[in-house]
Amino acid sequence: MSHAYVFPGQGSQFSGMGKNLYESSPLAKELFEQANEIAGFRISDSMFNGTDEDLKQTNVTQPAVFLHSVIAYKILNGAKPDMVAGHSLGEFSALVANGTLSFEDAFKLVCIRAKAMQRACELNPSTMAAVLALADEKVEEICAKVQAETGEIVVPANYNCPGQLVISGSIKGIEIACEQLKAAGAKRALVLPVGGAFHSPLMLPAKEELAAAIGSTLFNTPSCPVYQNVVAKAVTDPAAIQHNLIEQLTGAVRWTQSVQAMIADGATHFTEAGPGKVLQGLVQKINKEMLVDGVS
- Rounded to the nearest angstrom, the gap between the alpha carbon of residue 61 and the centroid of all alpha carbons in its chain is 11
| 58-74 vs 26-39: helix crossing angle, rounded to 10 | 150
- SS3 state of residue 232: coil
Torsion of CA 88, 91, 92, 93, to 10 degrees: 110
- SS3 state of residue 249: coil
- SS3 state of residue 10: coil
Q: How large is the C-alpha radius of gyration of the chain? A: 18
User: Active-site residue 69, yes or no?
Assistant: no
Query: Among 199, 200, 258, 296, which one carries the catalytic annotation?
Result: 199
* Burial (Cβ within 10 Å: 0-12, 13-18, ≥19) of residue 60: buried
User: Active-site residue 88, yes or no?
Assistant: yes
Nearest residue to 180 via CA among 142, 233, 128, 133: 142
Residues 189 and 162: their CA atoms lie apart, in Å, by 15
Query: Among 12, 44, 88, 168, which one carries the catalytic annotation?
Result: 88
> How many other CB atoms are there within 10 angstroms of residue 55's CB atom?
18
Residues that are catalytic: 88, 199
